[in-house]
C-alpha cells in the first residue's frame, strides 16, 4: 500500500470454501488455516508489488476485535517481521480498516477463491514496478469523502453508525443490541437452505424473488440503535406459517419443504427489510447530525447491491475491498500515522478480541 490510497498488491486467501462445508466459521480451523497461509501471503504480497523488505516503511496488523486464535497468528507474525526487519509496527482496529477501504483508489481485482493455504487470490499491481516509481502516482483525491462524516459499518460481527469529525476519530452513535446484520443474512440463509456465507447467496437468490411478497416487521429499537435477531425470528415464523407448519417445527428442516420460488421471495423480502432498516437509521442519523458532509458504508455487507442502490449518494468501497483484506489495514494505518499515532512495541503488545473502535 502506498500513501494510504494506492494498492501495490493485495493478496487475499479466503476460507469460504472450508467453512461452506461446516455452514459457518470454526475458530480453531480458522486459526490453523491462517497459520498455514501467513508467510506465503506475505511473500506473495511483496513479490506482486515488486518490492523487497528494504522498500517497506512500516507494517500494520489487526489487533482487535475478532477471533482470538486468528488475531494471535496475525499479530505474532507481524511482531516477528517487525523485529526481524526493524520496521515500525502499527496495530489497527478491524472496523477502522473497513472504514478506510473507502479511501483506497480503484480496488483490487480478486481473481479466485479457494480453501488452499497457498495465496490463491491477488490484487493487481497498479504500477508495473511500483517500488521504483513512487513519484509517478497521479491520484484524483477530489472524490474522497469529506468530514464530518457518518460511517455505516455492516459486517458479520458488527452493525454500527459512527460519527467521524475528522480522520481517525470515531464516536459510536448507533449499535446493534444483538445480532449484526451480516450475521442475520447468514442465519436467514441457513433457514432457507442457501450456502454459507449467507450474504452473497441471499443477494443472488433475491434477484429472482418478489421483495413485496412477505411483510416482515421492523424492530422497535429506540434512536439510532439496531436489533436484527428479531428479524431472523420473523423470517423463521413467516416460513413456518407459509408452509402451514407449527412454530415447534425444527428450523433446519424447513428448507426441505420450500420451493425455489419461495426461497427467492423470502430472500428478496428479507433483504429489502434489512436494507430498509439500515437506510431508515442512516436517514435518522443525518437528521440528528446536520453538519455531516458524507456517508461511507463499510464491512462485508457493503458489497450488497440492493444496499448500494438504496444509498446512491453514499461512498462504498470497491466490491473487491468490502470484505476482509490487507490493503484496508494498511490504509487505516497510514491515516493513523498522519494523525500522530505512534507505533507499538513489537516485544509486548496485546490482542483484544472484543474492544470498541472508540478506545
Ligand atoms: O466484514 P466481513 O467480510 O467480515 C467481518 O468482519 O465480519 O463481513 C462478512 C459478512 C458476512 O456476514 C457475509 O454474509 C456478509 O458480510 N456479506 C454480505 C454480502 N457479501 C458479504 N451481506 C449481504 N450482501 C452481500 N453481497
Ligand atoms: Zn471484517
Give the pLDDT confidence of 226-277 residue by residue, as tens digits.
999 999 999 999 999 999 999 999 999 999 999 999 999 999 999 999 999 9
What pLDDT sits at residue 143? 74
* Percent of the chain residues past pLDDT 90, beyond the cut: 84
Of ligand 1's listed atoms, the one at least distance from the Cα of 98 is 1
The response to whether residue 300 sits with its C-beta less than 6 Å from ligand 1 reads: yes
What pLDDT sits at residue 185? 98
β-bridge partners, 175:
160
Q: Is the pLDDT of residue 137 over 80?
A: no
Residue spans of beta strands (DSSP E) within 205-307 = 294-298
The response to whether residue 117 sits with its C-beta less than 6 Å from ligand 1 reads: no
Three-state DSSP state, 164: strand
* Percent of the chain residues past pLDDT 70, beyond the cut: 90
What is the mean predicted confidence (pLDDT) over 43-61? 97
**Beta-sheet strand order (sheet of 149-154):** 171-175, 159-164, 149-154, 294-298
- Evaluate whether 316 touches 301 at the Cβ level (below 8 Å): no
- Evaluate whether 79 touches 87 at the Cβ level (below 8 Å): no
Could you give the residue ranges of the DSSP H alpha helices within 141-197? 181-192
- Evaluate whether 101 touches 327 at the Cβ level (below 8 Å): yes
What pLDDT sits at residue 129? 46
> Which ligand ends up closest to the CA of 198?
1
What pLDDT sits at residue 162? 98
Average the pLDDT over each of 16-30, 63-77, 118-132, 171-185 and give the range with the smallest value: 118-132
- Evaluate whether 323 touches 7 at the Cβ level (below 8 Å): no
Please report where in the chains the cell 479466485 appears, as a residue: 112
Q: Ligand 2 (ion): which residues have CB within 5 A?
A: 155, 324
Q: Is the pLDDT of residue 156 over 90?
A: yes
Q: Is the pLDDT of residue 111 over 50?
A: no
Q: Is the pLDDT of residue 116 over 50?
A: no
Average pLDDT taken over every residue of the chain: 91
Q: How many beta carbons lie within 10 A of that of residue 248, not counting itself?
A: 6
What pLDDT sits at residue 115? 34
pTM over 0.75: yes
For 122: left if phi > 0, alpha if psi spans -120 to 50, otherwise beta; the answer is beta
146's enclosing H/E stretch is none
Instruction: For residue 152, report the distance from its CA to the centre of ligand 1, in Å.
Output: 13
The b/e string for 199-230 (b: 16+ C-beta within 10 A; e otherwise) is bbbbbebbeebebebbebeebebeebbbbbbb
Q: How many residues make up the chain in this entry?
A: 359
What pLDDT sits at residue 132? 52
What is the mean predicted confidence (pLDDT) over 124-151? 62
β-bridge partners, 131:
none
The span from the CA of 206 to the CA of 197, in Å, is 15
Amino acid at each position: 500500500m502506498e500513501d494510504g490510497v494506492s494498492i501495490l498488491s493485495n493478496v487475499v486467501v479466503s476460507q469460504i470454501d472450508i467453512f461452506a462445508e461446516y455452514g459457518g466459521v470454526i475458530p480453531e480451523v480458522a486459526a490453523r488455516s491462517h497459520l498455514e497461509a501467513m508467510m506465503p501471503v506475505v511473500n506473495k504480497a511483496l513479490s506482486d508489488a515488486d518490492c523487497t523488505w528494504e522498500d517497506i516503511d512500516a507494517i500494520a496488523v489487526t489487533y482487535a476485535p475478532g477471533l482470538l486464535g486468528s488475531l494471535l497468528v496475525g499479530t505474532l507474525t507481524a511482531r516477528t517481521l517487525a523485529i526481524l526487519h526493524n520496521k515500525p509496527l502499527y496495530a489497527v482496529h478491524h472496523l477502522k480498516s473497513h472504514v478506510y477501504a473507502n479511501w483506497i483508489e480503484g480496488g483490487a481485482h480478486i481473481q479466485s477463491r479457494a480453501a488452499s493455504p497457498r495465496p490463491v487470490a491477488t490484487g493487481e499491481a497498479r504500477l508495473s514496478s511500483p517500488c521504483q516509481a513512487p513519484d509517478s502516482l497521479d491520484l484524483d483525491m477530489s472524490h474522497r469523502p469529506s468530514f464530518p462524516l457518518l460511517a455505516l459499518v455492516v459486517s458479520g460481527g458488527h452493525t454500527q453508525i459512527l460519527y467521524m469529525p475528522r480522520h481517525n476519530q470515531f464516536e459510536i452513535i448507533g449499535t446493534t443490541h444483538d445480532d449484526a446484520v451480516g450475521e442475520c443474512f447468514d442465519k436467514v440463509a441457513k433457514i432457507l437452505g442457501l450456502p454459507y456465507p449467507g450474504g452473497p447467496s441471499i443477494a443472488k437468490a433475491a434477484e429472482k424473488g418478489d421483495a413485496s411478497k412477505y411483510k416482515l416487521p421492523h424492530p422497535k429499537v429506540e434512536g439510532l440503535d439496531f436489533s436484527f435477531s428479531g428479524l431472523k425470528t420473523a423470517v423463521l415464523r413467516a416460513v413456518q406459517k407459509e408452509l402451514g407448519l407449527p412454530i415447534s417445527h425444527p428450523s433446519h428442516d424447513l428448507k426441505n419443504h420450500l420451493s425455489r420460488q419461495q426461497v427467492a421471495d423470502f430472500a428478496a423480502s428479507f433483504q429489502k427489510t434489512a436494507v430498509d432498516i439500515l437506510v431508515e437509521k442512516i436517514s435518522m442519523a443525518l437528521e440528528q447530525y446536520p453538519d455531516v458532509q458524507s456517508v461511507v458504508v463499510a464491512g462485508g455487507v457493503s458489497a450488497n447491491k440492493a444496499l448500494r442502490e438504496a444509498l446512491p449518494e453514499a461512498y462504498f468501497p470497491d466490491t473487491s475491498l468490502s470484505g476482509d483484506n490487507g490493503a484496508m489495514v494498511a490504509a487505516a494505518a497510514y491515516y493513523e500515522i498522519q494523525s500522530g499515532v505512534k507505533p507499538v512495541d513489537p516485544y509486548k503488545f496485546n490482542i483484544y478480541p472484543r474492544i470498541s473502535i472508540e478506545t
